[in-house]
Structure 1
């Protein structure tokens, strides 16, 4: 297959996948998974379709490498997307419209662009050195119970021999100075702690005094947690990232002046800045059943994200802020992960980028959210966020994750397909 052919296919496939509504919750991923199956089988490949619940489709393809002594590489992406309200969009969110040099629609950024590049590269007659396992997964947006979590628990043999993985969210360019392009490689992810906080008190008529009101107790606890100024903490990944940015810009790295470093990242600073602190956002509050009754129970939920290596520090602080009268329990918990940056895989990423962009530099960063890489870590597979895209410096790409008017430049898709194929062929 000629280079232009698979690059064109990446663009076409991205648009076609966007046109399949895979909102989660919603209709499921089966139709999109069947589309991927069709593309792969047309090229003579032998993918496996795994449906973990009605209409929750996953596709897994193993491409044998020429050197069986090398550990395998997992390349994965998810087919589901978060819902979109068409009233807020410039174009219909499931149109897959190609306009103004971009492919538009829900999933263009998160992450049908990568799903399309994976399919185009897999079809291109790839001859890898090591085994490649491609996985197009369901349900990442709501935790992966019908996707990565299910496959890791029930079908781990599908990933046998894989030591590393690449997926979202990383590999795209930012320009902290004219002519200086940094490609952020995600090497760490915060841990997840979804918490349920409960306060109990004496129920009674609201006309009376209630100094032990459960609702008042919990409201105060939630206010303390939601307004707490978490201090910045530099993990090995974030310290390395900031030092690399300063080195690239030719300025000294001052740990006491982090704002000046973040300012160099422009719009992406908010995205990266969230990786320097724990985060705890109250998201739900339930109490009471009548205006004239003080309830005996109040329940709130908190979305917590803690830095690698600092889970106990995070939970101890939450308990202190909540107070002794509030009971804490986990709704869901996932450990933070951190992979090394100085590895042959990262060196291969840089080489593949520089083949297309001689000015490229790579820097590690910690993702403030989580991806399926965290689930595959349970199998001992070290995960990296690397979806290579050379972006216009004025495009606020990070803001489009789960945002309105998602779009990816056609030139970036073509660039990414070339870099991804080079990486998977040579590593």
Structure 2
């Protein structure tokens, strides 16, 4: 067991420590590694229209050059999942699955120093690209570590699988979730799965485990429409604005606990507004502003009708609930304070996922800590 743990952890450290991987394991020049990474980054896999076809061809080509087994799975049309395998010497042992996702969030090119899918490099060697951290870097680190280990003649005891899944940035239902529920996944005999964490600017790497439950909430407000010049109670915007202030105060109270050091970020309920939708769209909204020398300057712009108070407004929130929180109390808070029906508000909560509380006595953490300590002492 000790040898197995040490071998596994040596491999994991190769994957997550660029300095160790490049200096001691990867038998390839850095320019080639960076070039492959940039090629992957230049594939526009941004939601809502990711170019999965091109990313799949790229991953399969890398797999072939390394000498891995490969297959493409589709649990939903147009959303390929690429599964690579490196057979171990003892295939009866539980396998290791290294997971990453191919899709990335959308980008606003005009706000970038370089085009988001150019993978441009500045004078300091920094690469600018959407997905460079979340999480194409991890997927390529897996492959480059395996490439280097195979070049050194290393053969793992356990079979190692590498999955490149679609759909993660929009919930993962047609990618990782469907895969985890499939007969194919059950047949892999997976013992440990590694996914993503945070990038590190140093040689220190933090270990993460999923613990907080994500709640995605949408609050919708309704009210009487009216002319923009009128003042009256109970408009949709007013009803929603009151809720936003209540939620802001709750968020501040939770954040204060983190700022003061009384609680860690993973121990509080985090609430962040992620979208706001209201107004009456118009392609010829007339607007005006006071000119520098006096007088009104008029111009026509695309946007919203400026003299109409809308009858509906909505806002979306990403809520993360730690296992030590009372979910029923939070649900009551939402219904009674954040979105009370008395103010013509309704709400929906999506993505309710229960995560068990974990601590230092967890068997998986315990084995990881012991194995890491043993491995580090041999260097």
1:304 aligns with 2:309: no
Say if 1:190 and 1:336, in contact at 8 Å, map to a contact too.
yes
In the superposition, relative to structure 1, how do residues 307 and 50 fare at CA in structure 2: closer, same or farther (>3 Å)? same
Aligned to 2:191: 163
Deviation at 1:102, TM superposition (A): 3.7
2:111 to 82, 88, 92: 88
- In 2, distance between residues paired with 1:159 and 1:88? 45
1:316 to 332, 336, 355: 332
2:367 to 344, 360, 364: 344
In the superposition, relative to structure 1, how do residues 6 and 347 fare at CA in structure 2: closer, same or farther (>3 Å)? farther
Aligned to 1:224: 246
Deviation at 1:304, TM superposition (A): 1.7
1:329 aligns with 2:348: yes
Aligned to 1:47: 70
- In 1, distance between residues paired with 2:321 and 2:187? 28
Deviation at 1:37, TM superposition (A): 0.8
Aligned to 2:9: none
1:115 aligns with 2:115: no
Say if 2:267 and 2:324, in contact at 8 Å, map to a contact too.
no
SS of 1:186's partner is: coil
Deviation at 1:355, TM superposition (A): 6.7
Aligned to 1:71: 94
In the superposition, relative to structure 1, how do residues 35 and 224 fare at CA in structure 2: closer, same or farther (>3 Å)? same
Q: Decide which moves more: 2-11 or 321-330.
A: 2-11
Output one character per residue of 1:380-420: Cα deviation in whole Å (capped at 9) or x when no partner: xxxxxxxxxxxxxxxxxxxxxxxxxxxxxxxxxxxxxxxxx
- The within-5 A match list for 1:247-286 is 259=259, 274-282=265-273, 283-286=275-278
1:192 aligns with 2:211: no
Aligned to 1:403: none
Deviation at 1:80, TM superposition (A): 1.7
Aligned to 2:10: none
TM-score when normalising by structure 2:
0.69
Deviation at 1:137, TM superposition (A): 1.4
Uncovered stretches (5+) of structure 2, i.e. residues with no partner: 1-23, 282-304
- In 2, distance between residues paired with 1:95 and 1:57? 24
Say if 2:277 and 2:314, in contact at 8 Å, map to a contact too.
yes
Aligned to 2:159: 131
TM-score when normalising by structure 1:
0.62
Say if 1:202 and 1:214, in contact at 8 Å, map to a contact too.
yes
Aligned residues: 319
Uncovered stretches (5+) of structure 1, i.e. residues with no partner: 175-180, 234-255, 263-271, 357-427
Deviation at 1:294, TM superposition (A): 6.4
- In 1, distance between residues paired with 2:377 and 2:117? 34
- In 2, distance between residues paired with 1:190 and 1:335? 8
SS of 2:247's partner is: helix
SS of 2:48's partner is: coil
SS of 1:94's partner is: coil
CA-based RMSD of the aligned residues comes to 3.8
